[in-house]
């Protein structure tokens, strides 16, 4: 096994015990990037010299005083919305040409303090306003979409071209590409991870979180990211928590909600079958399955769009007027459409979110976790714009991908995607686990227990 193939937890243990140095690990990952980048296009930029320098520094620190934690010397990729001092934050857009970040984002600073080594910036759908990341190919099939908007981060992790990565999630942008590329993605509770220094799409819906190979790895990264920062007005001072799941797989006492509506409507049969098998596996591990009804479903999409669209247009107001030609056509149309929405529309969406959130919390009084598909279909062919369901209903690809993930953004609850198998075309399928606010521990416990059964672990793309 090559060092780049190690999970974060395994690499950290190898570094801690002296069986592997950060220099060897970073060199291995950089070599892997050279192999796969021409085919997959996960990275906007690769900072090889900077990474090698940081790896040597980490090796010296560990030799002198031991590893300061599990991220010390571990190679990480950052979605190119996340500021790192002195480097470009391009947002995969011509609008940001010549940009240099004046300082570190909070999450970059926290990862640096934990000893992580940044190997590069990964592609996003332009300014995170899309669900495909067209610059990047799916790690399993280069003719299919990577998912978005954190497509570069998900593909880098899936292709073993980063030990872990950070993404952002406004309507599913961590979970969608993670599911489509067979890796783990975690959207934490709104406000748990600060967003200072992260380019915004929609300030009231944006989240930052990890994309990793395993649930254990996601918990390790979350431990370094979580915590209050007054520079983010939405940041909360949550009670200290150890999010690491235990070593066992016993889920006795955990109540898992199974939706009777919405989450299994208009879902590919292969996706539904894989997710229902995974839910049955949770029951075999001791969880108690509870039927739940998702509330106010007719309001989910209009509320999400009523919040996201005008907030995105407000953020881009000046540059949209100054250099509209520098935006890609799909993003420019969305930004211009957002300027047509009234303040009343935005206020009504905020009121609807309050009602949705309360109804969701009431529903979750009876369960600890809700289990459902992450996305209703696996990765579609690049260029495909719509999907036709068995009843003749036609849905755009972007609407299909965001439909099952947006509720967790509107309500702010934590949501994890874990791989649960492959469809007949050999493409990954993801199961989404959603919890109560600041209920990451229960979500991670369920995902980790499922993962450790080996029923879908170790998915590796051909890339």
Q: Tell me the C-alpha distance between 155 and 158, whole Å.
A: 5
Helix axes 215-225, 8-16, angle to 10 degrees: 70
Count of alpha carbons within 13 angstroms of residue 269, beta-carbon side: 4
Length of the chain: 463
Q: Tell me the C-alpha distance between 170 and 308, whole Å.
A: 8
- Annotated active-site residue 93? The verdict is no
Unique residue bearing structure tokens 């299994």: 264
| Phi and psi, residue 245, nearest 5° | -70, 150
The alpha-carbon radius of gyration of the chain (Å, integer) is 20
Contact 125, 131 (CB under 8 A): yes
| Phi and psi, residue 388, nearest 5° | -105, 125
* Host H or E run for residue 155: helix 151-158
Q: Tell me the C-alpha distance between 396 and 321, whole Å.
A: 28
Q: Tell me the C-alpha distance between 254 and 275, whole Å.
A: 18
* Annotated catalytic residue, options 92, 149, 200, 202: 149
What is the separation of C-alpha 301 from the centre of its chain, rounded to a whole number of angstroms?
A: 20
Q: How many CB atoms lie within 10 A of CB 381?
A: 11
- Annotated active-site residue 204? The verdict is no
Q: Which residues contact 11 (CB under 8 A, 6 or more apart)?
A: 3, 20, 25, 74, 163
Contact 233, 198 (CB under 8 A): no
* Annotated catalytic residue, options 21, 90, 173, 204: 173
- Annotated active-site residue 153? The verdict is no
* Annotated catalytic residue, options 21, 28, 79, 200: 79
Contact 85, 45 (CB under 8 A): no
Contact 186, 193 (CB under 8 A): no
Alpha-carbon dihedral 386, 208, 188, 47, rounded to 10 degrees: 100
Contact 185, 175 (CB under 8 A): yes
Catalytic positions are: 79, 149, 173
């Amino acid at each position: 096994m090559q060092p780049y193939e190690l999970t974060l937890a395994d690499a950290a243990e190898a570094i801690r015990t002296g069986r592997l140095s950060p220099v060897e690990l970073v060199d291995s990952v950089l070599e892997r990037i050279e192999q796969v980048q021409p085919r997959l296009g996960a990275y906007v930029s690769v900072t090889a010299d900077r990474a090698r320098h940081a790896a040597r520094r980490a090796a010296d620190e560990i030799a002198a005083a031991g590893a300061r934690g599990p991220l010390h010397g571990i190679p990480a990729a950052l979605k190119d919305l996340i500021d790192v001092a002195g480097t470009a934050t391009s947002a995969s857009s011509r609008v940001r040409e010549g940009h240099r970040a004046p300082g570190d984002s909070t999450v970059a600073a926290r990862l640096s303090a934990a000893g992580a080594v940044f190997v590069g910036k990964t592609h996003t759908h332009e300014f995170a306003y899309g669900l495909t990341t067209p610059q990047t190919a799916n790690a399993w099939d280069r003719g299919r979409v990577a998912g978005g908007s954190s497509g570069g981060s998900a593909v880098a992790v899936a292709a073993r071209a980063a030990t872990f990565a950070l993404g952002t999630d406004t309507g599913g942008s961590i979970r969608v590409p993670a599911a489509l590329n067979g890796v783990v993605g975690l959207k934490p509770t709104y406000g748990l991870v600060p967003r200072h220094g992260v380019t915004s799409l929609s300030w009231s819906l944006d989240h930052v979180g990890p994309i990793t190979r395993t649930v254990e790895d996601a918990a390790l990264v979350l431990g370094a990211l979580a915590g209050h920062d007054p520079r983010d007005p939405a940041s909360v001072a949550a009670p200290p928590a150890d999010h690491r799941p235990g070593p066992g797989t016993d889920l006795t006492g955990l109540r898992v909600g199974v939706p009777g509506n919405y989450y299994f409507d208009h879902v590919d049969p292969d996706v539904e079958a894989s997710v229902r098998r995974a839910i049955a596996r949770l029951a075999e591990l001791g969880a108690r399955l509870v039927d739940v009804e998702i509330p106010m479903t007719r309001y989910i999409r209009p509320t999400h769009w009523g919040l996201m669209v005008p907030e995105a247009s407000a953020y881009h107001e000046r540059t949209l007027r100054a250099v509209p030609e520098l935006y890609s056509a799909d993003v420019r149309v969305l930004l211009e459409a957002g300027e047509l929405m009234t303040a009343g529309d935005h206020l009504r969406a905020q009121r609807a979110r309050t009602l949705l959130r309360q109804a969701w919390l009431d529903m979750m009084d009876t369960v600890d976790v809700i289990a459902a598909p992450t996305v209703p279909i696996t990765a579609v062919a690049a260029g495909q714009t719509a999907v036709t369901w068995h009843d003749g209903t036609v849905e755009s690809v972007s609407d299909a991908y965001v439909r099952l993930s947006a509720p967790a953004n509107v309500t702010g609850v934590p949501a994890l995607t874990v791989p649960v198998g492959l469809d007949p075309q050999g493409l990954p399928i993801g199961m989404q686990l959603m919890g109560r606010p600041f209920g990451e521990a229960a979500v991670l416990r369920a995902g980790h227990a499922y993962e450790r059964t080996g029923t879908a672990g170790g998915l590796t793309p051909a890339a």
